[in-house]
Amino acid sequence: MQITCLLRFCRSDFTKIYSSPSHKVAGYSSPIVALRKHLDLYANVRPVKSVISDKDPSQKPVDILIVRENTECLYVKQERQLIDESTGLKVAWADRKISEYASKRCGKMAFEMALGRDKLRQSVPLEQRIWKSKPKVTIIHKSNVLSITDGLWRESVRSVKENEHKYDGVDMDEQIVDSMVYRLFREPQAFDVVVAPNLYGDIISDGAAALVGSLGVVPGANVGDNFVIGEPVHGSAPDIAGQNKANPIAAIRSAGLLLEHMGYSEQASKIYNAVDSVMRKGNILTPDLGGSSTTQQVTDAILKAL
């Protein structure tokens, strides 16, 4: 609570990675989930982009932005457990919350980011772009089964484009979540901006990291109307703590993403370009990317490129 009060006087923050227990611990609450809630950081933004290495030109071209609703779905953590009197065994269930308000504002951010990405692409020669078509937003849902909750999500996000002419130049389509997972790995180049409820967005963005080599290269940001927190997608990796093996790229890119959302696009681009140049050469990489370099060596190489 003290940290939250201090952060209200700022515009941004860069958070460390937290480890939460996988089992129930009395009195424990996830720090990052609490920050998202108290600062109303309603969208988790995760760009997944490949850098084709000079040493491995066969890598699939990927340039996807995943916008994950950050405040609702099953992550409201309203879970209960009791004993079923008929069997004497435990039964557990969880509430799933989807609101029109939260769905619309997350959808609006996705459409705004689609326009922003298209504007940035105009400065890149067409032959160098991974995404060459009109900007597109793909809505992820499972409304064929969850017709009320996912039905409301789908309907609310669709209404953003349907009711605002500024998005007429943005294409919109939909994917059932299981079909999305299949297509993501078969044809990632078919997606530009993907917007999803909390749980689906969390799973899809982690899976998408496999397309670009490692969770260790995927940045993230928790974004609200008045505040942004940079946060890498990966976890805390306690199994390699203190061994100088961790990939620093996701954290460094997250710093760039934080700057980008604060309006410092030029400074953010310098960070992205420095990281990309090191990845493209492919000779200074951490073990998760098939290299043998240390965390410090990769960081030093990026600083030199910067």
Instruction: Give the active site residue among 49, 142, 150, 272.
Output: 142
Query: Is residue 182 among the annotated active site residues?
Result: no
Per-residue pLDDT at 124 exceeds 80: no
pLDDT over 90 percentage in the chain = 55
pLDDT (average), residues 41-52: 91
Per-residue pLDDT reduced to its tens digit, 280-294: 898 989 998 889 999
Q: Answer whether residue 1 shows pLDDT above 60.
A: no
Segment 115-140 shows an average pLDDT of: 88
What pLDDT does 258 receive? Answer: 86
Residue 264 pLDDT: 84
Placement of tokens 């039905």 in the chain: 151
Which conformational region is residue 263 in: left (phi greater than 0), alpha (psi within -120 to 50 degrees), or beta?
left
75 is catalytic: yes
**pLDDT at residue 26, as a whole number:** 63
Determine which one of 75, 167, 200, 272 is catalytic: 75
The residue from 178, 182, 225, 304 that is catalytic is 178
Choice between 266 and 177, residue whose per-residue pLDDT is larger: 177
Which amino acid is it at 97? K
Local confidence band at 12 (pLDDT 50, 70, 90 cut-offs)? very low
Q: Is 101 a catalytic residue?
A: no
Q: Is the pLDDT of residue 190 over 90?
A: yes
Tens digit of each residue's pLDDT (9 = 90 or more) over 193-252: 999 999 999 999 989 988 988 888 999 999 998 888 888 877 666 777 778 888 999 999
pLDDT at 229: 86
Q: What is the mean pLDDT of the chain?
A: 86
SS3 121: helix
Q: Is 178 a known active-site residue? A: yes
The yes-or-no answer on residue 18 being catalytic is: no
Tell me the pLDDT band of 9, cut-offs 50, 70 and 90: very low
- pLDDT for the residue numbered 42: 95
pLDDT at residue 192 in the model: 97
Choosing from 40, 206, 276, 300, the catalytic residue is 206
pTM: 0.83
Mean pLDDT over 113-142 rounds to: 89
- Span 45-212 CATH architecture: 3-Layer(aba) Sandwich (3.40)
Most confident of 20-24, 75-79, 122-126, 171-175: 171-175
